[in-house]
Structure 1
Amino acid sequence: MRARRPGITTGSMPIPQAGSAAPGFQLPDQNGNTVSLAQFAGKHVVLYFYPKDDTPGCTTEACDFRDESSALQKAGAVVLGVSPDSTARHQKFAAKFNLPFPLLADTEHTASEAYGVWGEKTNYGRTYMGITRTTFLIDPQGQVKHVWPKVKVAGHVQEVLALLKGEAPAGAKKAAAKKAPATPR
């Protein structure tokens, strides 16, 4: 493990921003098949990083992606979930909740570090290394189109779908509304 200074998160690259090239990866899915970003060239990729299989927030997020999978496919997107869990654990999680998309086992944290989502976390006073829930929308040319850092699960999949359909994400609508000048009465 890399040496750390107090208060400094290490072990990850910065989060790729919109317009930058998406880092490539090769990871096994829940069935042991190798999945790479390159194999989805020409399609939008919804790459979502989540902390742990079969936990409340992660289950809700996975099931929301499952429930919207046909709409996401219709919008031309492929969904890939990534966590540090093993392929065996992913297989149980995918089977339990009938997840129709690959869950990638990033047990060595290579993809999560490349995407800047692996780092130091604190929960109830305990400090540990883990994934910060983050979603990347990657365009058909392999460029990052949009990043949702520190995802709040409720409504997240609808934001992703809205952006794929060409609508502004909810956060952008709120920001635009705040910047709009008041209309005289």
Structure 2
Amino acid sequence: MQNTKSPPDVIFSIPADLPIPSDDGACEHLKNMRIPNISLWSTDDQEINLFSLPGWNVIFCYPMTGRPGVSIPEGWVQIPGAAGCTPQACSYRDNHAELKRNGVGVYGISTQTSEAQKEASNRLGLPYPLLSDADHSFSTALKLPLLEVDGLRLIKRLTLILKDGVVKKCFYPVFPPDKNVVEVIAWLSENQA
């Protein structure tokens, strides 16, 4: 497969013709599941163990963020649920203050390396950490749905809301990616006590 350069409009906006992913049932087992006792390296150079996080936390899992000038897999935008990672990360950035004010932690997880995630975090000015599941320990333990593109095994887009390390809500599939934070805030306002 050939790679194509990632134009800025693909990175920062949601394409009008983005295909809508369908619910294949791959996340039905997650509700009320306890997060595994696994530590992941974060963009702020700490090991974060989601198992031990107290209170409410939002974990949004995404395939990979694009980088200006770096090739993306051919046909990326046509893969249901693939494109939109950067707009999703930015929407959590833009709503982070409200989530934090309500005592909700935010974490993004992908199978990208910590170095790639640090670049994205710095470039996008993210106020929350991204966690690297490059060894697939987290996604394997939770049996998260994956997609394979150009030899890469990437987590399909989904969002978990945790209370004391237990999954209380799973959004899957997530579409459109940049509106997921609105759904999360609405769910939390109805269920957070």
After TM superposition, the score normalised by the length of structure 1 is: 0.72
Give matches, 1:60-99, under 5 Å. Answer: 60-99=87-126
> Would you say 1:46 and 2:58 are equivalent positions?
yes
Alignment partner, residue 135 of structure 1: 159
Give secondary structure in 1 for the equivalent of 2:30.
coil
Alignment partner, residue 33 of structure 1: 46
Q: Where do 5+ consecutive residues of structure 1 fail to align?
A: 1-12, 168-185
Structure having greater relative contact order (Cα 8 Å, sep ≥ 6)? 2
Give secondary structure in 2 for the equivalent of 1:32.
coil
Distance (whole Å) between structure 2 residues aligned to residue 67 and residue 91 of structure 1: 18
Aligned residues: 151
State which drifts further: 21-30 or 96-105: 21-30
Q: Report the RMSD for the aligned CA atoms in angstroms.
A: 2.4
Alignment partner, residue 6 of structure 1: none
Letter in 1 for 2:117: H
Contact 1:15/1:115 (CA < 8 Å) preserved in 2? no
Distance (whole Å) between structure 1 residues aligned to residue 27 and residue 37 of structure 2: 15
Which deviations, in whole Å up to 9, do the C-alpha atoms of 1:119-154 show, x marking residues without a partner? Answer: 3447xxx786321101100013x2211001121114
Letter in 2 for 1:47: I
2:184 aligned residue (154, 157, 160): 160
Contact 1:46/1:79 (CA < 8 Å) preserved in 2? yes
Contact 1:14/1:115 (CA < 8 Å) preserved in 2? no
Distance (whole Å) between structure 1 residues aligned to residue 29 and residue 127 of structure 2: 27
Q: Where do 5+ consecutive residues of structure 2 fail to align?
A: 1-25, 68-82
* Identity, % of aligned positions: 26
After TM superposition, the score normalised by the length of structure 2 is: 0.70
Alignment partner, residue 179 of structure 1: none
Distance (whole Å) between structure 2 residues aligned to residue 27 and residue 163 of structure 1: 26
